[in-house]
A and B are shown apart, each in its own frame.
Chain A
Amino acid sequence: MENKKVIEALKKTFPEKVTEIPDRLGDTIVRIEKDALLNIMEFLKNRPCEFTMLLDLTCVDYLSSKGCFEMVYHLFSISSNNRIRIKTEVRKNELDIDSLSDLWKNTNWLEREVFDMFGINFKGHPDMRRLFMYEGFEGYPLRKDYPLRKRQPKIPLRRLT
């Protein structure tokens, strides 16, 4: 299905939950409400939209400017060769969002990565742990307020003479 039609269908099925963001570079970007995430993703994954592949899932920190995190999902449809970008906001006071692990299996690690780096909790995720950093690491390194050089060594370091 063409991206235009996909957006029309989205708007029809989920009125008030979906807004399209115009993009100067020609990408299709849709902003959705957080509570409708699971339903919208399921709608997009199945026929007739057929966005069967979750290309990427990441998060952007806007805490200082907008007071929220922004989750960014990239979907790809092999049959129609289209990409779509879905964005949704996670407010500061409730840092959790539905997990997509029932729909796509690679979200297992991708969501763990976001949890690791930003501290967002995914409801319904089977195994919510850090992915890259180790246990005992405090803070969330990719947040803007985490200093670049704040190290937390896992073992005591030698004193060089």
Chain B
Amino acid sequence: MGKIKPRAYYRETLNGGFIATKINYMLGWGRKYSLFHYPFITACCGMEYMSAACAHWDFDRFGAGMTTFSPRQADMLFVVGTISQKEAPVLKTVYDQMCEPNWVIACGACAVSGGIYDNYAVVQGIDKIIPVDVYIPGCPPRPETILNAIEKLQEKIQHQKQDWQWKIKK
């Protein structure tokens, strides 16, 4: 048995050992309940988004109530509605401005796949432009569905491998 090299020991524990998983868990827990979101609202689904955000359905209950209108402060991009070819560069710019870690929800059939608009003007799903974490079906999705999507995203965040600054990169 040789001597344990301290550096290797730390690397191991921090990346998969007990402490690391606990920190991972804590960070996930923290992140999932403080989702600052940037609503990128273009079309009809925005009306249901409004309902979901207001007093009746209120997704503040799930820790996603804080709307920021600066992509630099946002954790989550809520793409609500149809993205046309003309709008696509705007969406890409907004996404590129967001800091890591960030998540994207595609809300409504149009954002997911182009929906009923299969024609020259509409991008067939925003995943052709930016990566997406959660897809919400429906045209428009009911507010319950939007709430469910937020729960799904929280679950995903909780079980994700978190990224933190002083983590030793392999």
A and B in contact, CB less than 8 Å: yes
> CA separation between A147 and B131, bound complex, in Å?
29
Which residues of the partner chain A approach B3 to less than 8 Å between Cβ atoms? none
Size range of the interface on B?
A: 10 to 19
Q: Is B169 positioned at the interface, with any CB of A under 8 Å from its CB?
A: no
Task: Please tell me which one of the listed residues B88, B118, B130, B131 contacts residue A153 in the complex, with CB atoms under 8 A apart.
Answer: B88
Which residues of the partner chain B approach A155 to less than 8 Å between Cβ atoms? 88-89, 92, 129
> CA separation between A76 and B128, bound complex, in Å?
45
Q: Is A152 positioned at the interface, with any CB of B under 8 Å from its CB?
A: yes
Do B119 and A153 have beta carbons less than 8 Å apart?
no
Do A149 and B119 have beta carbons less than 8 Å apart?
yes
Which residues of the partner chain B approach A141 to less than 8 Å between Cβ atoms? 120-121
Q: Is A160 positioned at the interface, with any CB of B under 8 Å from its CB?
A: yes
Q: Is A105 positioned at the interface, with any CB of B under 8 Å from its CB?
A: no
> CA separation between A152 and B89, bound complex, in Å?
13
Report the minimal beta-carbon distance from A144 to chain B, rounded to whole angstroms. Answer: 13
Task: Please tell me which one of the listed residues B119, B127, B128, B129 contacts residue A148 in the complex, with CB atoms under 8 A apart.
Answer: B119
Do A152 and B85 have beta carbons less than 8 Å apart?
yes
Do B86 and A134 have beta carbons less than 8 Å apart?
yes
Do A158 and B89 have beta carbons less than 8 Å apart?
no
Binding site for B on A (CB under 8 A): 132-134, 141, 146-155, 157-158, 160
Q: Interface on chain B toward A: helix, strand, loop, or mixed SS?
A: loop
> CA separation between A60 and B61, bound complex, in Å?
52
Do A154 and B127 have beta carbons less than 8 Å apart?
no
> CA separation between A147 and B130, bound complex, in Å?
27
Do B89 and A160 have beta carbons less than 8 Å apart?
no
Q: List 13 A–B pairs whose Cβ atoms lie within 8 Å, in order of A's numbering.
A: A132-B86, A149-B118, A151-B85, A151-B120, A152-B120, A153-B88, A155-B92, A155-B129, A157-B128, A158-B128, A158-B131, A160-B127, A160-B128
Using known A-B contacts A133-B86, A152-B85, determine if residue A158 contacts B129 with beta carbons closer than 8 Å.
yes
Binding site for A on B (CB under 8 A): 85-86, 88-89, 92, 118-121, 123, 127-131
Which residues of the partner chain B approach A154 to less than 8 Å between Cβ atoms? 85-86, 88-89
Report the minimal beta-carbon distance from A137 to chain B, rounded to whole angstroms. Answer: 8
Which residues of the partner chain A approach B89 to less than 8 Å between Cβ atoms? 154-155
> CA separation between A66 and B119, bound complex, in Å?
27
Do B88 and A148 have beta carbons less than 8 Å apart?
no
Do A153 and B120 have beta carbons less than 8 Å apart?
no
> CA separation between A158 and B104, bound complex, in Å?
16
- Give the 10 A-B residue pairs with the shortest CB-CB distance, closest first: A157-B128, A134-B86, A155-B89, A154-B85, A148-B119, A155-B88, A150-B120, A141-B120, A151-B120, A158-B128
Which residues of the partner chain A approach B88 to less than 8 Å between Cβ atoms? 153-155
Which residues of the partner chain A approach B129 to less than 8 Å between Cβ atoms? 155, 157-158
Using known A-B contacts A158-B128, A158-B129, A160-B128, determine if residue A153 contacts B85 with beta carbons closer than 8 Å.
yes
Which residues of the partner chain B approach A149 to less than 8 Å between Cβ atoms? 118-120
Which residues of the partner chain B approach A146 to less than 8 Å between Cβ atoms? 120
> CA separation between A132 and B86, bound complex, in Å?
9
